[in-house]
Amino acid sequence: MFRYLIPLLCCLSLPVAAAGPADPFGNEGMAPLRPSPQLAARVGEAPCATAIPATPLTAIDAVDLTLCNNPQTREVWAAARVQAALVGVAQSAWLPDLDGRLATARNFTDVDNYNQRNAALTLSWLLLDFGQRAASGENARQLLAAAAATQGSTVQSLFLAALQNYYNAQATRAAVHSTGEAERSARESFAAADARYQVGVGTPADRLQAQTALSQAILNRIRAEGEARNALGALANVMGFDAQMPITLADLPPTQADAAFQRDVDALITTARARRPDLQAAEAQLKAAESGIDLARAQGRPTLSLTAGPSWQEVRGVSSNGGSLGLTLSVPIFSGFETTYRVRSAEAQAEVRAAQRDRLSSQIALDVWRAYQNLNTATQSLKTTADLVASAEQSERVALGRYKAGVGTVLELLTAQSALASARLQRIQAALDWQIFRATLAQAMGALDYTLLQGAAEGRP
């Protein structure tokens, strides 16, 4: 009999081992999709890319690559799949357990020596646990919902990080061009001052001031080029590549201030609280903690289990077959107040989660308020800096013409050129702020997706 049971138990164990990689409860379908352009509401087909495109990089390209290649997307997706598997662990508690046991021994006594062998199959099934499995399953499902919402929050954070780095790289590139223009103007001023000095109508002080301004302009251009290289490295990093990867940026369309965001702030905050995935994650974590209270209480209640199975034993060459069928009622009587303190701990954990949820809800209102005010300020600044640059350019042209005509001073010219360089940089910063704060407001409301970029891709604000 023993030699027949060994292959039988081995055969019974094979389907269990083979089913390991399978998904009998279908929990993989409960996990969220892997972060990708499709998950972020990408319009049209958007397969994941693994290399920086040969064409100039657009903002949409930067977001696509970030969502596909940044390690954080893989991290949050794996965390969600962990929780989906734990839901399966909770579901498995409702099914019976089947165990096989084989044993052989050589016994020694003063009289003789003999062999003893036995085998058994045991079925164990928990029939009643007064809510323990139900609470455990609800806890696992809520934690899965929290993981899915956390993934959504991470996608929006990466979306915003990609835009911030992309527009910062564009701004530093524009700053290089602006400082180059300032250097050209300073060189022209120095040439004019040197020409006046050579013919004896200019002073050495004028020539030295122009030389100093030119050297400062060259230094500003060198610094701007270094900042531009660093910005490209940061952009490559957020997209999941090494910082030294070569990147060519696409030209941005002219930035036009759009006041469509100007709505009632109370309505914006209400919308944000309904859509923010991190608040949804906090709500799910609170519900999971509340189910943890039910679980802690149920662990101190009785359980009823069914056990059944055949057995075989051979002692001194005599075989015997048997079996068992029974019910086991387990009633916890005293556990050193463990259940009491487990319930208290679970209740305190639920209070922690509730406080975290409320704190986040309050923070969302502040996030929306700040982003709204920052975007409002950036919109006004964008309009004002356009006028500032126009007037500074006209002032610089007049000052240069006056100096070349011999009726203006070099100090007037250098002051006008410095004001123009400053105005251009303020215009660049205003455009960067408007792009970033527009995306920040969308992220604060939980609505940051590709629709923000579709208009820009089509040449609209």
Q: Which CATH architecture has domain 57-93+129-457?
A: Up-down Bundle (1.20)
pLDDT at 461 over 50: no
Mean pLDDT confidence for 435-446: 92
Angle between helices 59-69 and 71-92 (to 10 degrees): 40
Mean pLDDT confidence for 158-179: 95
Q: In this predicted model, what pLDDT tens digit does every residue of 320-374 receive, in sequence order?
A: 899 999 999 999 998 899 999 999 999 999 999 999 999 999 999 999 999 999 9
Task: Give Dmax (Cα) for the chain.
Answer: 132
The pTM for the full model equals: 0.83
Closest among 461, 453, 270 to 368, alpha carbons compared: 270
Q: What confidence score (pLDDT) does residue 111 get?
A: 80
Cross-strand bridge partners of residue 311: 120, 322
Reported as a pLDDT band with limits 50, 70 and 90, residue 34 is confident
pLDDT at 15 over 70: no
Please report, for the chain, the start and end positions of each structural domain, with discontinuous segments joined by +: 57-93+129-457
Q: In this predicted model, what pLDDT tens digit does every residue of 442-451 receive, in sequence order?
A: 999 998 888 8
Cross-strand bridge partners of residue 324: 309
Mean pLDDT confidence for 382-391: 93
Looking at per-residue confidence, does 409 or 18 come out higher? 409
Residue-level length of the chain: 461
pLDDT at 194 over 50: yes
Contact status, residue 234 vs residue 243, Cβ threshold 8 Å: yes
> Where does 109-147 show beta strands of DSSP type E?
113-128
Q: What confidence score (pLDDT) does residue 112 get?
A: 81
Reported as a pLDDT band with limits 50, 70 and 90, residue 115 is confident
List phi, psi (to 5°) of 51.
Answer: -140, 150
Q: In this predicted model, what pLDDT tens digit does every residue of 259-314 receive, in sequence order?
A: 666 667 889 999 999 999 999 999 999 999 999 999 999 999 999 999 999 999 98
pLDDT at 460 over 70: no
Q: What confidence score (pLDDT) does residue 315 get?
A: 85
* Average pLDDT taken over every residue of the chain: 88
Cα(155)–Cα(408) distance, integer angstroms: 58
Closest among 33, 15, 12 to 24, alpha carbons compared: 15
For 460, other C-beta atoms within 10 Å of its C-beta total 10
pLDDT at 164 over 60: yes
Looking at per-residue confidence, does 219 or 51 come out higher? 219
Percent of the chain with pLDDT over 90: 67
